[in-house]
Amino acid sequence: MLSYRHAFHAGNHADVLKHIVLIQLIRYLGQKDKPFWYIDTHSGAGAYSLTEGFAQKLGEFEGGIGRLWKRADYPQPVADYVDLVRQFNADGRLQHYPGSPFFALWAMRPQDRLRLFELHSKDARLLQQNFENAGKQVHVEANDGFAGLKASLPPPPRRAVVLIDPSYEEKQDYDRVYHALKDALVRFPGGTYAVWYPQLTRLEAHELPRRLKRLPVKGWMNVALRVKEPAKDGFGMHGSGMFVVNPPWTLPDTMAEVMPYLVKTLGVDAGAGFTLEQEAAA
């Protein structure tokens, strides 16, 4: 939706979960010498201020990265995530938050490539500016990410991590995600696909993970973090999830270590909890 700006939500509990998973995916593919692509369908602006503008209106980062910032008891995957956020805050104060493209870039190697798509005109310009010194490793397009994904597959190195992360402000986004992933699996069945989704009271949000599980894939993992009870009025997001197709074999064990910690540190009330389920490749 062209009115959506991720800056309102930068660094919240959903970003924490999403970026911990993303770092694990990128680093796993980097264990082999052969290069790979990172494709981001909804890249946003790429970086966000937490001390002014949109982020200050809602202060959602205080319930996410803000709760982790000064702790020292991290499981290693959480420590890896927080260390990358610290690269964006050299003076030790939490003032800026990197978007998914920066997490991917920092976890990648020089031979790997990023293709970033963003349709919102203002965020697309900011994304271009944030990566203007990245050279040929990063390609930014002011374009619809679903169309961009279709045009990018299969990637030349035949290896890729794809993040599908729309706003879901439009009801149609749930269908778009499902059909985009279904089409992508035909074009490039061996890719690693990570779909972020919100936990809301609306039916479409509840049904999306179930629909994704029915896709013809070799293996998947679904991990979700619920930070509070759903609101009685049905308003707002009480959690979020990451559905990963063709996940690294190490990822379920990694998230089994991480999720109890995230529930403990990011949970708001007794409704906090997590889901972790998988179907392994045959």
In a domain, residue 35? The reply is yes
Report yes or no: 111 and 34 within 8 Å, Cβ to Cβ. Answer: no
| In-domain check, residue 1 | no
Helices H / strands E in the chain, number of each: 10, 10
pLDDT of 173-201, one tens digit each?
Answer: 999 999 999 999 999 999 999 999 999 99
Q: Which residues contact 132 (CB under 8 A, 6 or more apart)?
A: none
- Residue 185 backbone phi and psi in degrees, to 5: -70, -25
Nearest-5° Cα angle at 43, 41 to 44: 135
> Tens of pLDDT along 7-57?
778 999 999 999 999 999 999 999 999 999 999 999 999 999 998 765 455
CATH code of the domain containing 58: 3.40.50.150
- Chain center to CA of 102: 11
Question: Which residue among 40, 165, 173, 175 is the active-site one?
Answer: 165
Whether residue 154 is preceded by a cis peptide bond, meaning omega within 30 degrees of 0, is yes
Whether 253 is a known active-site residue: answer no
Q: Which two tokens stand for residue 89?
A: 């805050």
Quote the percentage of the chain above a pLDDT of 70.
95
The total domain count for the chain is 1
Alpha-carbon distance values, 26 to 89, 106, 127, 168, 194 (Å): 22, 10, 20, 24, 11
pTM of the full structure? 0.95
Report the C-alpha gap between 15 and 56 in whole angstroms. 16
Q: Residue 39: give the domain boundaries.
A: 6-279
